[in-house]
């Protein structure tokens, strides 16, 4: 009788976000990447496929070339196979087609250059699958990829049919696809190695054509909470490798390429759009996540395979800020493509920045911080703006003034964009006539890169979370941990009903306070904040946005017109704002409290080099950013008791406010024609990461406000100036 055997195909995916802090990558190297390879080299009977995303691979080559040499040795002795992917780990399905191929080929060439290997397999970022990818992958030379077994289960395959590979096709192009076993993902590296071996023995067959497939995050081996102790100090990984080597007759540890060469495909398959099951759950609207969990809990076991979550692209609907980032990427990609077609000198440099700006981390949110982490979003915008600067300078020179009326966010309604060498201003007439992107181009920074506070299903668990302590109770999966980094985070759970952007026009109820407004517990008396404005003018002389709306005063509705006249000079990062508020009713003098909202994100809420200051007096002077014209600037003085970005308070009768960023070398000014009352407070979200619940500073809200009365037909005018200086 033939002895049952099974092939064991192991893979790890190692990733660090673009421009992640060096100390974070160094810690991951010390706790994970280095000890993992050291143990692997000690166990020649264990074969492993590895994937390093391009940014991490380049970082290791620069900072730890000995690890690159170690990888080369492992490849040369046939113990390691390297997978390619998108160079900077993009979600391939959502980037332009030229960039799909370009990113894959860039990482493939980099692997060949550094390691002397020609990859055949590809790691698909976050296993986000769409069927049209087959064609692009095949044309980029990819032979096989790994996806979660849930993809295969959803089309009707049984568990025993998941132990091998299948072939998929698009327009006559084919690639092979391996289903990664969910059991293996959850057992490694948490279960006793013998439990894993017992599972492999159960899957073994006399035919010997089956394969147990594992391919998951390498950071599980030392970086995830509690895993360094369990994996290395308590020697889980060494025991696992030894167990594999102890029974080579039954468990054949192979490279993917070896298995493909020896075993035929199980057949043709067509898979639906999908990702791993947790990602599909996170992509759902927040209010439906608990419903899916409840359905999965109560459904009969054989029905659960047909219950699945949402579609990855819904993150672009769930979070408008993610959509903003995505559409900015498409906008810049189009510019860079024109540069590439002209073979300009800076084309490759611009292309590299664009591709860095396509890194997936900042586009979505689940257990990992992702979209919620301001440093990741800032890095993405930074590279997109660096690419845009190179493209615009090459295509238009260093003096241009572009007005675009275009459906930027793809909602079938036009947005207004003003582009100069100093700044980009993006306005949304359909949503309050708001300013939703403010790019300061000399520093390649979007100062309106903010995130609104939203309900997340895991907020329901916050009350029961425990404080995290070093060591904890041992290794747990990130899906099991319910810990918090600080007490009292539940007091921050306030939810916004609009995006936290600028030029949002509030009319406040008479009992509104700073505390009520910041906690979204106030009365909004007008219908202007996120409602449509008409575009009365859009030109170099002025942008005029207008809304015929209403304000409720003492339970009576009054017609009010709000007009904002905006002017953008060509040679400064300045926006001049004039509000005209007109009482259009036939009777009654009414009392109004008007407050246009502004938001600014300088990234660091407590850093001493990021702070508020109040202008002492206004002067007219020349600015380095305004060679040809005059703008209002201010003498600087520090009179605030708390100048931090995280501070809050009411400032009475001030000429303006400045937010200074010494680290970036810029100052944001909001100046008023007449002394004005201003409220300030931070927007802080509560998100969950692999380390637990955490507070994240998103922006500082500035709310100048005026109380006044209007007779029928009377107009009140307010003038403000927004400057960015460096």
CATH number at residue 248: 3.20.110.20
The predicted-structure confidence for 436-446, as pLDDT tens digits, reads as follows 999 999 999 99
Domain shared by 587 and 698, yes or no? yes
Characterize the bridge pairing of strands 6-14 and 483-484.
Answer: unpaired
| pLDDT class of 623 with cuts at 50, 70, 90 | very low
- Mean pLDDT (whole number) for 121-133: 96
Domain shared by 73 and 168, yes or no? yes
| pLDDT class of 631 with cuts at 50, 70, 90 | very low
Lowest mean pLDDT among 214-223, 419-428, 564-573, 621-630: 621-630
422 assigned to some structural domain: no
The predicted-structure confidence for 198-222, as pLDDT tens digits, reads as follows 999 999 999 989 999 999 999 999 9
Q: How far is CA 705 from CA 14, 29, 507, 676, 714, in A?
A: 50, 51, 9, 7, 19
CB atoms within 10 A of CB 62: 9
Whether 528 and 564 have beta carbons less than 8 Å apart is answered as no
Report d(CA 413, CA 684) in Å as an integer.
Answer: 30
Domain shared by 51 and 185, yes or no? yes
Of the three residues 258, 275, 292, the one that is the final residue of a domain is 275
Cite the DSSP H helix spans in 442-585.
Answer: 514-518
Query: Is the model's pTM score more than 0.85?
Result: yes
Q: Please report the sign of the dihedral spanned by the C-alpha atoms of residue 218, residue 220, residue 225, residue 230.
A: negative
Whether 403 and 539 have beta carbons less than 8 Å apart is answered as yes
**Phi, psi (deg, nearest 5) at residue 176:** -95, 145
439 assigned to some structural domain: no
570 assigned to some structural domain: yes
Domain shared by 516 and 591, yes or no? yes
110 assigned to some structural domain: yes
Q: Which pLDDT belongs to residue 188? A: 96
Q: Is 70 exceeded by the pLDDT of residue 635?
A: no
| pLDDT class of 302 with cuts at 50, 70, 90 | confident
Q: Which pLDDT belongs to residue 627? A: 33
Report d(CA 64, CA 188) in Å as an integer.
Answer: 27
Cite the DSSP H helix spans in 299-373.
Answer: 315-318, 320-341, 347-356
715 assigned to some structural domain: yes
The predicted-structure confidence for 466-504, as pLDDT tens digits, reads as follows 655 444 445 545 445 568 878 889 999 999 999 999 999
Report d(CA 184, CA 189) in Å as an integer.
Answer: 9
Domain shared by 172 and 308, yes or no? no
Characterize the bridge pairing of strands 590-600 and 610-623.
Answer: unpaired
Domain shared by 655 and 538, yes or no? yes
Say which residue, 298 or 723, is predicted with more confidence: 723
| pLDDT class of 620 with cuts at 50, 70, 90 | very low
Lowest mean pLDDT among 363-377, 507-521, 532-546, 651-665: 363-377
- Which DSSP string corresponds to 159-219? GGGGSS-EEEEETTEEEEEEEEPHHHHHHTTTS-HHHHHHHHHHH-BTT---EEEEEEEGG
Q: Which pLDDT belongs to residue 303? A: 85
Lowest mean pLDDT among 89-93, 130-134, 530-534, 585-589: 585-589
Q: Which pLDDT belongs to residue 470? A: 40
Helices (H) and strands (E) counted in the chain, each on its own, are 19, 28
| pLDDT class of 622 with cuts at 50, 70, 90 | very low
Helix 347-356 × helix 320-341 angle, to 10°: 160
Domain shared by 244 and 286, yes or no? no
Domain shared by 636 and 708, yes or no? yes
Q: Please report the sign of the dihedral spanned by the C-alpha atoms of residue 282, residue 284, residue 289, residue 295.
A: negative
Extract the tokens encoding 104: 């894959």
- Mean pLDDT (whole number) for 701-718: 97
The catalytic site residues sit at 126, 217
Report d(CA 383, CA 56) in Å as an integer.
Answer: 17
Domain shared by 720 and 638, yes or no? yes
Q: Which pLDDT belongs to residue 477? A: 53
| pLDDT class of 617 with cuts at 50, 70, 90 | low
Diameter over CA atoms, the chain: 99
659 assigned to some structural domain: yes
Write the CATH number for 557: 2.70.98.10
Domain shared by 87 and 204, yes or no? yes
Number of compact structural domains in the chain:
3
Collapsing DSSP states into helix, strand and coil, what is residue 467? strand
Q: Is 50 exceeded by the pLDDT of residue 1?
A: yes
- Which DSSP string corresponds to 649-670? EEEEEEEEEEEEETTTTEEEEE
Owner of token pair 């077994």 = 149
Q: Which pLDDT belongs to residue 688? A: 87
Domain shared by 180 and 311, yes or no? no
Report d(CA 298, CA 291) in Å as an integer.
Answer: 11
- Mean pLDDT (whole number) for 112-121: 97
Lowest mean pLDDT among 213-217, 251-255, 405-409, 688-692: 688-692
Domain shared by 506 and 601, yes or no? yes
Lowest mean pLDDT among 112-116, 248-252, 686-690: 686-690
Of the three residues 257, 275, 293, the one that is the final residue of a domain is 275
Domain range for 288 is 276-316
- How big is the chain, counted in residues? 726
181 assigned to some structural domain: yes
185 assigned to some structural domain: yes
Burial class (CB in 10 A: 0-12, 13-18, 19+), 219: buried
Of the three residues 214, 249, 275, the one that is the final residue of a domain is 275
């Amino acid at each position: 009788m033939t002895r049952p055997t099974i092939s064991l195909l192991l893979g790890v995916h190692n990733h660090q976000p673009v421009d992640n802090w060096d100390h974070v990558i160094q810690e991951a190297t010390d706790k994970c990447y280095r000890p993992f390879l050291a143990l692997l080299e000690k166990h020649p009977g264990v074969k492993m496929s590895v994937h390093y995303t391009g940014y991490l691979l380049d970082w290791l080559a620069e900072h730890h070339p000995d690890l690159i040499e170690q990888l080369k040795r492992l490849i040369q002795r046939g113990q390691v196979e390297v997978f390619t992917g998108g160079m900077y780990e993009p979600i391939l399905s959502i980037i332009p087609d030229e960039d799909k191929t370009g990113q894959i080929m860039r990482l493939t060439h980099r692997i060949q250059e550094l390691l002397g290997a020609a990859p055949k397999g590809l790691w698909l970022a976050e296993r986000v699958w769409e069927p049209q990818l087959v064609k692009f992958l095949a044309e980029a030379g990819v032979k096989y990829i790994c996806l979660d077994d849930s993809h295969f289960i959803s089309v009707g395959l049984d568990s025993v049919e998941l132990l091998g590979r299948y072939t998929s096709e698009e327009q006559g192009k084919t690639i092979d696809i391996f289903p990664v076993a969910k059991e293996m993902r959850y057992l490694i590296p948490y279960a006793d190695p013998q439990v894993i071996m017992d599972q492999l023995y159960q899957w073994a067959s006399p035919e010997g054509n089956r394969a147990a497939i594992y391919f998951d995050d390498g950071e599980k081996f030392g970086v995830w909470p509690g895993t360094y102790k369990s994996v290395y100090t308590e020697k889980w990984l060494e025991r696992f490798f030894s167990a594999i080597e102890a029974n080579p007759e039954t468990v054949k540890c192979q490279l993917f390429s070896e298995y493909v060469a020896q075993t035929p495909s199980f057949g043709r398959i067509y898979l639906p759009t999908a990702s791993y099951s947790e990602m599909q759950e996170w992509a759902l609207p927040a209010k439906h996540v608990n419903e899916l969990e409840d359905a999965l809990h109560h459904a009969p076991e054989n029905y659960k395979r047909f219950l699945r979550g949402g579609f990855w692209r819904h993150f672009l609907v769930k979070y408008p800020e993610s959509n903003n980032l995505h559409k900015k990427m498409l906008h810049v990609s189009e510019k860079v493509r024109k540069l590439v077609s002209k073979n300009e000198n800076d084309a490759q440099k611009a292309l590299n920045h664009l591709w860095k700006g396509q890194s997936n981390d900042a586009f979505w949110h689940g257990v990992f911080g992702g979209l919620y982490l301001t440093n990741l979003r800032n890095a993405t915008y930074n590279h997109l703006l660096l690419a845009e600067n190179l493209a615009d300078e090459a295509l238009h020179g260093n003096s241009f003034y572009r007005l675009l009326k275009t459906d930027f966010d793809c909602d079938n309604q036009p947005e207004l964009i003003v582009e100069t060498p100093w700044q980009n201003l993006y306005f949304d007439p359909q949503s309050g006539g708001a300013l939703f992107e403010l790019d300061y181009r000399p520093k390649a920074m979007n100062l309106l890169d903010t995130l609104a506070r939203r309900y997340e299903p895991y907020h329901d668990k916050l009350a029961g979370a425990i404080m995290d302590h070093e060591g904890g109770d041992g290794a747990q999966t990130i899906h099991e941990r319910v810990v918090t980094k600080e007490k009292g985070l539940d007091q921050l759970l306030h939810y916004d009903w609009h995006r936290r952007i600028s030029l949002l026009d509030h009319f406040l109820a008479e009992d509104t306070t700073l505390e009520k407004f910041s906690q979204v517990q106030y009365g909004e008396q007008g219908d202007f904040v996120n409602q449509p404005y008409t575009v009365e003018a859009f030109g170099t002389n002025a942008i005029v946005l207008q809304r015929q709306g209403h304000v409720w005063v003492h339970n009576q509705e009054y017609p009010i017109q709000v007009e904002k006249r905006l002017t953008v000079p060509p040679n400064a990062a300045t926006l001049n704002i004039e509000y005209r508020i007109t009482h259009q009713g036939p009777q009654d003098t009414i009392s109004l409290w008007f407050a246009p909202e502004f938001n600014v994100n300088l990234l660091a809420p407590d850093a001493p080099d990021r702070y508020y200051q109040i202008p002492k007096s206004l002067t007219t002077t020349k600015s380095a950013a305004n060679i040809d014209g005059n703008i209002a600037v201010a003498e600087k003085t520090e009179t605030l008791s708390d100048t931090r970005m995280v501070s809050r308070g009411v400032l009475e009768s001030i000429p303006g406010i400045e937010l200074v960023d010494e680290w970036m070398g810029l100052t944001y000014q909001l100046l008023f024609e007449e002394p004005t009352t201003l409220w300030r407070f931070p927007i802080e979200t509560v998100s969950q990461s692999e380390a637990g619940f955490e507070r994240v500073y998103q922006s500082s809200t500035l709310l100048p406000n005026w109380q006044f009365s209007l007779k029928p037909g009377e107009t009140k005018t307010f003038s403000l100036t927004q400057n960015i200086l460096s």
